[in-house]
Chains A and B, each alone.
Chain A
């Protein structure tokens, strides 16, 4: 078991190196020109060429990649922004904190609301407790988060005027962005938990439990729920991708100074260092959370534990 965890943690290193490489590779496809971006349109060509040379823009991809890694590890530096001239870390990291806070609120809401609702719909299948949440979840899963955010803006900021439409000054400002992020994932969680629970209820061990004479309540809450919740744990890991997308949208829509909005904004300015750093920071966080979910899963699911001990003897 510990070998499994150790192996997974060690695989983190090539993963992070690979992630940085992929981002580097993709961004190198661009015909952009950092010297031109920094010095502006009117600068003389020689100055631009010289700056490009200094920045290592003309180096081959692999050299650039290793220089970047070296700089990152030795100086803990993400370089300097082409657009603002500031250290990238100073721009990216505070904004990352904002995104992390919003995402945490989003994941808590969507889990605390989505999973119990999913259980309810499965346990009370074919009743009003099933139909209403299921239909709602079905509809909400078909609404892109930016449309949802715009509807929230329209209702709560423009018509009712009870919530601020931008910024992060008071706790009220957090309501709409986190709802905009949480609602689509909540809908997804309801649907996922429901099908997982229904599958679990259909299993043979449920019949066995009933045949033993266990009370219906015990059967549902002890036997079915325990098994149904396992896939739900992995599902929370799967939510992360959607959550990041929701963060980008919500930050853009509600003018929240988060990392997603930063990346989208800087695309227009071809500010490569910020885009690379932002992508790397989010990807590494994403990878670590996925790993944590996998490890928790391995701990909770006796089948995986057993499989691993058997294989490795």
Chain B
């Protein structure tokens, strides 16, 4: 009994540690006082100011545009490559897998500075496009790693049967193979999307003047002193993430049932 209580208390403490900072930011986002010292009444002022701030809105737009585009492109390239890698001879497979693990294992900061060096060497204009290229680069391996196990469990005769029955390779892929590996593709795509949303390092080093993502914007805002607008932003993001999470969970439950 005592043991159980200790376990409960311990778990509670760890969860408190995880969530306390987030809840405090949410609380402060409704605080009227500019100096976070004391509570001086409920307000929605910071939310209004947040949406009046053009640079923040632009950063939000960039973040989501890059996340959606990079996840989409990475999912397409990753799925196609996973199919190709799956059919390779063991030696080629090894080579490709090592290359795939490279961005996964490399520290983000090294990916960031090495891409910066590449883009500068190619005399490319740093900005939205270079960030997008960077994000596709570190996203694609995660899609491959999510799709490969599904291909391994796929019955190879299914595709052959479709081809024997007169389907073109394209039809066989879209009507037989793709539906079977879809869970892996979706997982990979979602993973890519969230990784891109959360990224700071690669965006920070591959961006040019004036192009911000949310992470870069928050970073520069902390340099200028903390603003309650960031609290409002965190609250909105947390609610967004929470609802996305609940949505995905209920979807998963439905599938299982």
A and B part of one assembly: no
Q: Which residues of B contact A (CB under 8 A)?
A: none
Q: Which residues of A contact B (CB under 8 A)?
A: none
